[in-house]
Amino acid sequence: MTTFLRDQSSDFSTPGSGNGMLDVFRYRYLLRLLVRKGILTRYHGSVLGWTWSYVKPAAQFLTFYLVMGVFLDLNRGIENFAVYLFSGIVVVNLFSEAFGNATRSIVDNAPLVKKIYLPRELFPLAAVFVAFVHFLPQLVILMIAAVFTGWSPVPLQIVGGLVAIFIVLAISTGLGLLFGAVNVSFRDAQNVVELILLFATWTSPVLYSWTMVRDATPTWLFDLYMLNPLTAAVELFHDAFWLSTTEDGASRPENLAVLALTALLVSLSTLLIGQLVFRKLEGRFAQDL
């Protein structure tokens, strides 16, 4: 009997001692189930259903367009301001929904976390995937609007747009893992995240041009502003969807490729740090929940 148990011991592993994000690939069928559940229950019991995926960003766009474009007259300072504004809004909306949902994902799935063992990274990652699915209708609307205003991008600009999406998803996942783990023990993390999301809209060139920041701030502060990964992602989207619709020779930020590479490195570093913190704290999830 002792020999049998010794031989079988290699088939078992200590609970919670998995391979982190790598285990998600082994449990990808569960990831699909969680994503499907998140999509199907998003507007469960709603009369409009998926229409809200269009109504909410449209209402947000109209509000910002009236306030910033009409009342503050930025509509004259930025050509095709509507496309400029919406291409920034969809990036920030993706970040906000992915980061916010990932932060709450462990607490929202407390019954599963407490009863069975599975890679807990599945929950934040599924939340990010659901946010991406709801981002797609907004992207379609942006593409249609860009086409009607003379959109003619080169392939490199489209690649830049895809890089921007990856940057946002990576940094949202990393931050979601970090704050999602902390949120299990300290629910104040959700309030901190709400503050971060509030600043996200205003500390990236969504409602205004990056040149306004360059002209109004010291060089060191402007450089710090441009190092924000969300700023790089927004500008990559502007470059992909808005720049080719302008006729006055609107300029992209200098060294946009360098900024994009820096944002990629920062987002991947954030993903690594988030994973390390998550694995450090996940042993207390069932107890704290």
- Condensed to tens digits (0 to 9), the pLDDT of residues 200-256 reads 878 889 888 888 888 888 999 999 999 999 999 999 999 999 988 887 656 788 889
How large is the average pLDDT for residues 1-24? 53
Which amino acid is it at 282?
Answer: E
Q: Domain limits of the chain?
A: 19-288
CB 226: neighbour CB atoms within 10 A? Answer: 22
d(CA 193, CA 172): 11
Q: Are 172 and 131 in contact (CB under 8 A)?
A: yes
Q: Are 173 and 271 in contact (CB under 8 A)?
A: yes
d(CA 159, CA 42): 30
pLDDT averaged over the chain?
83
- Percentage of the chain beyond pLDDT 90 is 33
Residue 289 banded pLDDT, cuts 50, 70, 90: low
- Percentage of the chain beyond pLDDT 70 is 86
pLDDT beyond 50 at 15? no
Over its C-alpha atoms, the chain yields an Rg (Å, rounded) of 21
Report CA 16 to chain centroid distance, whole Å.
Answer: 27
* DSSP secondary structure letter of residue 249: -
Report CA 206 to chain centroid distance, whole Å.
Answer: 15
pTM score, whole prediction: 0.87
Estimate the share of the chain in helix, then strand, then coil, as percent rounded to the nearest 5: 80, 0, 20
d(CA 20, CA 168): 21
Q: Which residue's structure tokens are 């023990």?
A: 185
Q: Which residues of 84-98 are buried (b: 16+ CB within 10 A; e: fewer)?
A: bbbbbbbbbbbbbbb
- According to the model, what pLDDT value does residue 2 have? 47
pLDDT in tens, 105-155: 888 888 877 777 778 888 899 999 999 998 998 898 889 888 988 888 889
